[in-house]
Each structure stands twice: as structure tokens, then as C-alpha cells.
């Protein structure tokens, strides 16, 4: 029997390396060479797993979405499966926070403006999240209010990627207040 392939693990490692480089240097600075160095691989081996950095960006997008879902499920197990838990999963600053992910969202959203296929993936994801927020509110929020909550979350992630440290941590509590007010 042959050795088990480590392809999926290697792709995940490269995606995490891409995230670190993207968060520090932006999409333009996230060259294949920089990502290969961060992943401690040769550029040729990186190309064995990904055709180009656009493919890495798409993989990162899917990874960030999945990681958020995991964070939400973990928090829901500890508390309640509701909108406040969703907002905490997206914005609360604690040991589970991922500042690299917040910066990556900025890079992904910027690239989506130039790449129609990535934009379409993001739009589908946003539409799905609006439905989720509506359901998590117990249908107290309609699509407009749910969209506003999601816009607050995304805006907070963008702001948090660049904000001075003294403003850090405001978003989760304000998001929950905003959601509560919108539901009334």
C-alpha cells in the first residue's frame, strides 16, 4: 500500500502562508515567491498545488468562510445559537480572534472589484449570510435590516484591519446593540 497523500494538508498550509503574506503586503505584494518563502517551499512545489495566486485567493476565500462557520458553531455550543453569537463570532476580540483574517477580507474584497468571478462568489456568500442573519434574528429582521447588520460587520472588519489600537474591541458590542435596535 502506498503512502497517503498530503495534498490537502499542503494546500491548507500554503493557504495559511498566503493569508499571512496577503495580510502584511496586500495582493500585489503576495507574490508566488513571497508565499513560497513563507510556506518554506520552492515556488515550483507551490505551483504543483496552485496554478497562480488567484487560485490561492479563491481557496483563501473559501477557507475564511469555513473558518467563520466553525467559530460560530463553537461559540453556539458554549452559548446560544442566535444573532448575538453570530456577531461575536465575526467581531469579538478574544483568544479566537483572527486579525490576519480581517486583513485578508480587505484584500479579497479589493480584488473582487477587479475579478467578476470572485465578486460573484462573494455576492452569493453575502446573500446566504443575509438569510442566515434573518433566521438567527427569529425573523425579527427583514432582508434590509439583515443587510445593514452584515454591512456593519464587514465595515467593522475593514476598519479593524487599520484602526488604531485604542478603538479595538468596540464592534461586537455595538453590533449587538445595533441588531437589537433594528429588531425592535
Report the 10 Å Cβ neighbour count for 5: 8
Give the pLDDT confidence score for residue 93 in this predicted structure. 76
Cα separations (Å) of 45 from 33, 40, 70?
Answer: 11, 10, 29
Helical residues (DSSP H) of the chain, grouped into ranges: 7-29, 32-39, 43-49, 53-78, 83-91, 99-112, 116-136, 143-162, 170-183
Give the pLDDT confidence score for residue 168 in this predicted structure. 62
Spatial separation of the C-alpha atoms in residues 105 and 23, rounded to whole Å: 9
Give the pLDDT confidence score for residue 95 in this predicted structure. 72
Give the pLDDT confidence score for residue 94 in this predicted structure. 73
Q: How many residues does the chain have?
A: 184
Helix axes 116-136, 53-78, angle to 10 degrees: 10
**What is residue 165's DSSP assignment?**
G
CA dihedral 10, 11, 16, 22 (to 10 degrees): 130
Provide the residue-wise pLDDT of the chain in tens; the chain has 184 residues: 555 568 889 999 999 999 999 999 999 999 999 999 999 999 999 999 999 999 999 999 999 999 999 989 988 888 788 999 999 889 887 777 777 888 899 899 999 999 999 999 999 999 999 999 999 999 999 999 999 999 999 998 888 777 766 566 788 889 999 899 988 8
In this prediction the pTM is 0.87
The domain ranges of the chain are 56-183
Give the pLDDT confidence score for residue 6 in this predicted structure. 87
Amino acid at each position: 500500500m502506498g503512502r497517503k497523500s498530503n495534498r490537502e494538508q499542503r494546500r491548507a498550509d500554503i493557504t495559511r502562508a498566503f493569508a499571512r503574506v496577503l495580510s502584511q503586503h496586500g495582493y500585489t505584494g503576495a507574490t508566488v515567491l513571497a508565499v513560497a518563502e513563507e510556506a518554506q517551499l520552492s515556488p515550483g512545489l507551490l505551483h504543483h498545488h496552485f496554478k497562480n495566486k488567484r487560485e490561492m485567493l479563491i481557496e483563501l476565500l473559501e477557507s475564511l468562510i469555513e473558518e467563520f462557520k466553525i467559530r460560530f458553531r463553537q461559540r453556539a455550543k458554549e452559548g446560544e445559537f442566535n444573532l448575538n453569537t453570530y456577531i461575536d463570532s465575526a467581531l469579538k476580540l478574544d483568544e479566537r480572534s483572527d486579525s490576519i483574517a480581517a486583513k485578508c477580507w480587505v484584500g479579497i474584497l479589493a480584488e473582487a472589484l477587479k475579478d467578476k468571478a470572485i465578486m460573484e462568489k462573494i455576492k452569493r456568500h453575502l446573500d446566504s449570510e443575509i438569510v442566515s442573519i434573518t433566521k438567527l434574528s427569529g425573523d425579527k429582521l427583514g432582508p434590509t435590516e439583515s443587510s445593514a447588520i452584515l454591512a456593519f460587520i464587514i465595515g467593522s472588519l475593514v476598519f479593524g484591519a487599520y484602526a488604531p489600537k485604542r478603538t479595538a474591541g468596540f464592534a461586537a458590542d455595538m453590533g449587538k446593540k445595533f441588531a437589537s435596535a433594528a429588531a425592535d
